[in-house]
């Protein structure tokens, strides 16, 4: 890689990431449950100016620290959008964090695997499925990946004796603090994993002094402690019982909303979550084994393996949990490809065959989802042409990439795989999934309710309490049971409530059921039916603002 290419490559990777992650940012409706909760809480934070205590309506939101809420609140203030903010505004922090992650990975990986391999890793980061999914979701995970990359990049420079006296420690402790303010101790897992791995392999931890532990810890506490102290005072300690005794404990013991899954789930699903680059996993593992005694590889293995074991051991498994470990795998993939082009690593047909089989199964899965979702869960039509066109594009690009890789044309294979990732992201998030309208009940509630402009006051909901409904219908939405909804309608004229008919059999005799909505709740994947009931004395025929 010549000097000009070395300078331009990071900019091109950044542009690729911005383009890749930008698709679906506005098209995909708000998702239940976590994204809707984060977004609604940030909306209320922006409205009230309370930057300490996060809430969804009146319910405390104390399972995560505050940094992502601050970032979304800043996005609201900077864009100047007020009131019922659209979801794309809340997704901007994740979008920018995802794009910067691809750029930061080049910086973090260059001392470890070389510039060319680090650039390939940046391309992988910009187009891999799991990063694409999180970079256009208003949650913590894309920002957490950025903080982990910065932290591990500094840790790697310290380990390889390439640290700058103050800049490297500053990057390490600031990245660690940002990660802690995003998702608590999750950021510590890859850091400690790498330290333990290196200590066991080399019996040496003296290199950690290059990170200036004492002033670094002081900086870390100065950045992290103020909010934790403030939230402890405001909530009288309830934050700790909710975040540690509730959220974290539930995930360790399989309590709360999530069920337990067996160990090995992440090893199976990585063919999907790392697509389209899952083709390279056997090659990356082969490279890691061949160079396992190299200090640079030791850093990447410590980043990847200990944390992976912990996540597999924890009963509750969500596919995005292992995402902060993916950058290490991306760098291993990049290094393996570079060695392959230099003929420093033999092309393993067995490894390529295993990778191709797993990759092909993932390709079939995504193409079926892209084509079938709008038909099965959308308007009654036999085929959704835009989804078919998009699926055809990413299938052809992917097959081209596989063919080129088998022929040894690595650079062209990388370009084809990147195109496959971008095309698949566009197809799923901007075309297919938005067209599967059965999943987007909250949007349909808003559309149906808007037809009755004379309805006064907030809308009540009974039988459907997903946070997306609050985000779309408004903070003042009333979540109640059937009895409460009927009482609300009886209190004044021109009120409306969406009620599950199963909760009030026979109530249609007293209240006019205007439209009916049926769909699938993506919060629990259960069927939902809701009818719009209006105040007594108002019928569908006489409602002045009816259709």
The pLDDT of residue 537 is above 60: no
Lookup: tokens for 154: 């500094």
* Gap between the Cα atoms of 392 and 394, Å rounded: 6
Mean pLDDT of 185-213: 96
User: Residue 167 has what pLDDT?
Assistant: 96
Listed in sequence order, the residues at least 6 apart from 437 whose beta carbon sits closer than 8 Å to its beta carbon are 377, 378, 379, 443, 444, 519
The pLDDT of residue 538 is above 70: no
Query: What domains can you pick out in the chain, each with its CATH number?
Result: 3-247 (no CATH), 347-437 (no CATH), 440-534 (3.40.190)
Kindly report the CA angle at 217 between 73 and 66, in degrees rounded to 5?
15
Please, are residues 435 and 374 in contact by the beta-carbon 8 Å criterion?
yes
Name the strands in the sheet holding 460-462, side by side, starting at the edge strand that comes first in the sequence: 478-480, 460-462, 496-499, 526-534, 513-521
Question: Looking at per-residue confidence, does 240 or 537 come out higher?
Answer: 240
**How confident is the model over 129-143, as pLDDT tens digits?**
999 999 999 999 999
**How confident is the model over 229-284, as pLDDT tens digits?**
999 999 888 888 877 766 665 566 655 566 788 999 999 999 999 999 999 999 99
User: Residue 186 has what pLDDT?
Assistant: 93
Mean pLDDT of 367-382: 91
Residue 77 burial class via C-beta count within 10 angstroms: exposed 0-12, middle 13-18, buried 19 and up: exposed
Q: Which helix H or strand E contains 463, and what residues bound it?
A: none
User: Residue 456 has what pLDDT?
Assistant: 80
User: Residue 431 has what pLDDT?
Assistant: 96
Mean pLDDT of 328-344: 92
- pTM for the predicted model, two decimal places: 0.94
Lookup: tokens for 43: 């909306």
Please, are residues 490 and 536 in contact by the beta-carbon 8 Å criterion?
yes
The pLDDT of residue 541 is above 50: no
User: Residue 544 has what pLDDT?
Assistant: 46
User: Residue 256 has what pLDDT?
Assistant: 56
Lookup: tokens for 309: 């074991």
- pLDDT-derived band at 352 (thresholds 50, 70, 90) equals confident
**How confident is the model over 391-449, as pLDDT tens digits?**
999 999 999 999 999 888 999 999 999 999 999 999 999 999 999 999 999 999 999 88
Helix (H, G, I), strand (E, B) or coil at 513: strand
User: Residue 241 has what pLDDT?
Assistant: 81
- pLDDT-derived band at 163 (thresholds 50, 70, 90) equals confident
**How confident is the model over 466-505, as pLDDT tens digits?**
999 999 999 999 999 999 998 999 888 888 999 998 888 7
Residue 161 burial class via C-beta count within 10 angstroms: exposed 0-12, middle 13-18, buried 19 and up: exposed
User: Residue 547 has what pLDDT?
Assistant: 45
User: Residue 84 has what pLDDT?
Assistant: 85
* Cis peptide bond prior to 276, omega within 30° of 0: yes
Question: CA-CA-CA-CA torsion for 69, 74, 79, 80, nearest 10 degrees?
Answer: 100
User: Residue 85 has what pLDDT?
Assistant: 92
- pLDDT-derived band at 542 (thresholds 50, 70, 90) equals very low
The pLDDT of residue 510 is above 60: no
Please, are residues 313 and 263 in contact by the beta-carbon 8 Å criterion?
yes
Q: What is the DSSP string of 113-125?
A: H-HHHHHHHHHHH
Please, are residues 303 and 328 in contact by the beta-carbon 8 Å criterion?
yes
- pLDDT-derived band at 524 (thresholds 50, 70, 90) equals confident
């Amino acid at each position: 890689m010549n000097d000009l290419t070395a300078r331009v490559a990071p900019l091109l990777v950044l542009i690729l990431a911005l383009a890749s992650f930008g698709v679906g940012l506005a098209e995909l409706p708000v998702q239940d449950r976590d994204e809707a909760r984060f977004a609604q809480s940030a909306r209320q934070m922006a409205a009230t100016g309370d930057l300490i205590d996060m809430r969804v309506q009146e319910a405390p939101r104390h399972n995560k620290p505050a940094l992502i809420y601050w970032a979304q609140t800043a996005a609201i203030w900077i864009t100047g959008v007020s009131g019922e903010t659209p979801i794309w505004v809340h997704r901007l922090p994740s979008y920018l964090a995802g794009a910067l992650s691809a750029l930061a990975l080049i910086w973090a990986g260059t001392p470890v695997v070389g510039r060319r391999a680090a650039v390939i890793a940046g391309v992988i980061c910009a187009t891999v499925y799991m990063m694409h999914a999180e970079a256009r979701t208003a949650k913590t995970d894309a920002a957490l990946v950025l903080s982990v990359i910065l932290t591990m990049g500094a840790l790697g420079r310290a380990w390889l004796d390439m640290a700058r006296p103050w800049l490297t420690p500053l990057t390490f402790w600031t990245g660690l603090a940002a990660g802690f303010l995003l998702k608590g101790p999750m950021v510590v897992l890859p850091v400690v994993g790498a330290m333990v791995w290196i200590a066991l392999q080399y019996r040496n931890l003296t290199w950690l002094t290059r990170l200036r532990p004492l002033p670094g810890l002081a900086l870390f506490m100065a950045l992290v402690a103020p909010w934790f102290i403030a939230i402890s005072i405001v909530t009288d300690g309830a934050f700790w019982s909710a975040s540690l005794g509730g959220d974290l404990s539930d995930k360790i013991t399989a309590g709360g909303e999530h069920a337990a899954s067996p160990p090995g789930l992440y090893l199976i699903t990585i063919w999907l979550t790392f697509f389209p680059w899952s083709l390279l996993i056997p090659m990356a593992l082969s490279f890691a084994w061949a160079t396992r005694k190299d200090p640079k590889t030791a850093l990447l293995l410590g980043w990847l393996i200990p944390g992976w074991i912990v996540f597999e051991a924890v009963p509750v498994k969500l596919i995005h949990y292992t995402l902060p470990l993916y950058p290490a795998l991306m760098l291993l993939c990049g290094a393996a490809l570079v060695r392959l082009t230099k003929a420093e690593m033999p092309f393993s047909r067995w490894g390529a065959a295993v990778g191709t089989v797993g990759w092909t199964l993932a390709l079939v899965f995504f193409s079926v989802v892209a084509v079938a979702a709008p038909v099965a869960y959308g308007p009654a039509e036999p085929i959704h042409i835009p989804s078919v066109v998009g699926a055809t594009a990413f299938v052809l690009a992917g097959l081209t990439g596989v063919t080129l890789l088998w022929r040894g044309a690595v650079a062209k294979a990388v370009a084809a795989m990147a195109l496959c990732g971008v095309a698949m992201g566009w197809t799923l998030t901007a075309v297919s999934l938005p067209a599967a309208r059965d999943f987007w009940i909250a949007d349909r509630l808003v559309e149906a309710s808007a037809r009755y402009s004379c309805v006064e006051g907030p809308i009540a909901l009974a039988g459907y309490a997903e946070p997306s409904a609050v985000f779309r219908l408004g903070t003042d939405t009333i979540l109640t049971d059937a009895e409460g909804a009927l009482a609300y309608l009886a209190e004044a004229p021109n009120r409306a409530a969406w009620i599950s008919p199963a909760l009030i059999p026979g109530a249609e005799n007293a209240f006019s059921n205007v439209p009916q909505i049926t769909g699938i709740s993506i919060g629990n994947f259960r069927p939902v039916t809701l009818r719009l009931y209006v105040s007594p004395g108002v019928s569908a025929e006489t409602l002045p603002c009816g259709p």
